[in-house]
Structure 1
Amino acid sequence: MTAFNHDKFNKVVDIPNPLFQSLQGKYFVGQTETIRLGKGRNAWGGLFTPQYSDVHLFVNAFTITNHSDEPFVAEIWFNPTLSGKPKTSDKVSPSNTTLSPLPKPKSKLKFAEFVKDAPKNGVNVFKRIVPPNSTLVSDEDGKYIFSSGGSFVIFLVSPGNKTVKAEVAFGWFEKKGDPII
C-alpha cells in the first residue's frame, strides 16, 4: 500500500474580487442621507471621481430604498451634468474596518433633493422601477468603470404630486493608474 504524499498538492484559495479589494483597503460602502422628491421635483445620488485624480472607480453594487407607498422610476446615468444643490455624504466607510489608519476613498458620494431639471449630457443607460416600501438591489461586480472626472448617478424621477423619501447606497472600489485589474 502506497502512502499518501501531501507534498504534491498546493492549496489554492479562490476569493471574490470585492473581498480581495476589501482586504487591500480599496473597497468602500456608503449611502446618501434620506432624500426627498415629488411634486414635479426629482432627486439624485451618485459617485464622482475627482478630475485629474488618476483614480478609476469600479461600481460594484447599488441599492435604492423607497420609503413611500408610491412607486417611482430610477434612471441610471453615466457622466451626466446635474442641477440642484449637491451635498457630500459623510455616511461612507471602507468595508474593511480592521485597517489602521482607515483608508479614505478618493471618489465622493454626492446627492441632491427637490431638483427641477433632468440630467443633461451623459448617457441614461437604463431605468428601474422602484416598488413602494422596498429596496431595489443591483450587484454589478465592478463592471461599470469610470476614470478621473467621471460619475455614476442614480436619478430619481418624481412620482407625481406626493412627496416621497428615498436613499441611494453604493459599494465600490478604486484603483490608481491603469484600470486593468
Structure 2
Amino acid sequence: MYNNSFCPPIYQKASEQIPISLSKSLQGKYFAGLSREEFGGGKHAWAGLFNPSCSGVLLFVNVFTVGNVTEIPFSFQVWLNATTSGTAKPTDMQSSANTAIQPVPKPKIQFLYSDNVDGEPTGGTLIFGRRCPAETTIVSEEDGKFICPPGGNFLINCLPPETSDEKIVGRIAFGWWEEPCK
C-alpha cells in the first residue's frame, strides 16, 4: 500500500487543504493519458474514457485537452455515453500520475481512440461543442464533475473541417480518477 513517508509535511495535512487531483494522485487513483488522431477529408476522429461494465469503479473526468498541431481550425464535440464507430484502439500513452507507488497502479478505465472514422457518434448525449483554432490547445478543467458509471463513457469527437480536405493531426488528453462503486 501507499507509504507517504517521502511526502513533504504540507501533503500530510487534511485533504481539504490540497487540491482533489493531488489527493487522488497521492492515493494512486489519478491517471493521465494522450492519444493522437488523424482526420479530415470528410472523416472524423474520437478519443474517450470508457468505463467497462464490470469495472466496479466510477469514472471522474478531471481535465481534457484538445490539441491542433496543424494550420487548419476544426470543431469538436463532447459526448456522454455515446456509441462510437471505427476501430477502437487503446492508447499506449497513459500512466498513473503517481509513479512512486510500487507497483504502479493500473487504471480500470479504458482510454480508447479511433481516427479516420465515418460519421459522428450515435446515442448518448452531445453535451457541448467547441472550436479548436490552428496550432492551439484547448484545456478544460472539469474538476471531476462528469461522472460515468460502469458501462458509460466520456468522449471527444473531432469533426472534419468544412473548408479543407487536408488531413489534420489532433491530440486529445485526459486526466481522471477512479473510485469504487458503492
- What TM-score results when the alignment is normalised by the length of structure 1? 0.90
Distance between the aligned counterparts of 2:32 and 2:118, measured in 1?
28
Letter in 1 for 2:19: P
Q: Describe the SS at the equivalent of 2:24.
A: helix
Distance between the aligned counterparts of 1:111 and 1:63, measured in 2?
14
**Equivalent residue, structure 2, for 1:130:** 132
- Of 165, 168, 174, 1:161 maps to 165
Q: Describe the SS at the equivalent of 2:95.
A: strand
Q: Describe the SS at the equivalent of 1:135.
A: strand
Residues 76-91 of structure 1: matches in 2 within 5 Å? 76-91=78-93
1:149 maps to 2:151 = yes
Q: Describe the SS at the equivalent of 2:22.
A: helix
**Equivalent residue, structure 2, for 1:172:** 176
Query: What CA deviation, in whole Å up to 9, does each residue of 1:73-105 have, x standing for no partner?
Result: 110000101100110011110111110000000
Distance between the aligned counterparts of 2:108 and 2:121, measured in 1?
23
Letter in 2 for 1:171: G
Distance between the aligned counterparts of 2:18 and 2:132, measured in 1?
32
RMSD, matched Cα: 1.1
Runs of 5+ consecutive residues of structure 1 not aligned to the other structure: 1-10
Structure ID, larger Rg: 1
Distance between the aligned counterparts of 2:166 and 2:181, measured in 1?
45
Instruction: Quote the offset at 1:12 in angstroms.
Output: 5.6
Whether the aligned pair in 1 keeps the contact of 2:55 and 2:109 (CA below 8 Å) is no
**Equivalent residue, structure 1, for 2:32:** 29
Distance between the aligned counterparts of 2:109 and 2:72, measured in 1?
32
Instruction: Quote the offset at 1:118 in angstroms.
Output: 1.1
Distance between the aligned counterparts of 1:92 and 1:12, measured in 2?
29
* 1:100/1:127 CA distance change after superposition, 3 Å: same
Distance between the aligned counterparts of 1:131 and 1:117, measured in 2?
21
Letter in 2 for 1:169: A
Identity between Structure 1 and Structure 2 (%) = 42
* 1:12/1:31 CA distance change after superposition, 3 Å: closer
* 1:12/1:91 CA distance change after superposition, 3 Å: closer
Query: What CA deviation, in whole Å up to 9, does each residue of 1:11-38 have, x standing for no partner?
Result: 7670111110000000000011x21010
Instruction: Quote the offset at 1:52 in angstroms.
Output: 2.3
**Equivalent residue, structure 2, for 1:65:** 67
Letter in 2 for 1:45: A
Q: 4+ residue runs of structure 1 moved beyond 4 angstroms?
A: none
Letter in 1 for 2:172: V
Between Structure 1 and Structure 2, how many residues are aligned? 167
